[in-house]
Amino acid sequence: MTAESPDAAPRPSRGRRPRAPRTAGAALIAVVVLVVGGGLLYDVIAVRTGHPARRWRAELAHQLAARHLDDIRVRIGAGGAVLFGLWFCWLAFVPGLRRWLPLRRPGTVIDRAGVAALIAARARELPGVDAVAVRVRRSGTRVTVSGAADPAGVQRELRAAIARVPLAGPHQLDVRVRRSSVPER
């Protein structure tokens, strides 16, 4: 085991992505489904191997066979199952926090659209740039510049712009320059 010197520079951390509030709900649903499904599977296997069914399963089968669809208990159970299913679908389809990028300071984030706007504004200031398209992802940014700009100069300036944003992890910058085709006279 080695001791770190007090002068050692801190290692850059990858930064934890923020967790959506739906994570706890999805985990709760997964645990409930696993427990109920495991109990049912255990009982079905026990019946198939010649053992009697558990009392709760026999009672549930009897209740389901004896009750009609217009019974209030059946309607409440069906309504609860529908609400549970709708909640589960909502948890599955809501986008969560994918649009946020973590910053170096723990617990802070920045919107991807804000990073894209910053880079696009800086690229438009450069001489020879006619149009800019920016796509920011978790680990990198792709910038497509149209115009007669110097590719090395554009890349250098945009790297400096992205370096001013204190992102938690390494962030790649891919700059592509397309030459504008100007019709000759």
pLDDT tens-digit readout, 149-179: 888 888 888 888 888 888 888 888 888 888 7
Last residue of a domain, one of 93, 114, 130: 93
Q: pLDDT > 70: what percent of the chain?
A: 84
- Domain ranges, residue 57: 22-93
132 within 8 A of 143, measured Cβ to Cβ: yes
Last residue of a domain, one of 77, 93, 109: 93
pTM value > 0.75 = no
168 within 8 A of 18, measured Cβ to Cβ: no
For residue 15, is it within any domain? no
Last residue of a domain, one of 93, 109, 137: 93
- Are 114 and 142 part of one and the same domain? yes
CATH of the domain at 116: 3.30.70.1350
For residue 104, is it within any domain? yes
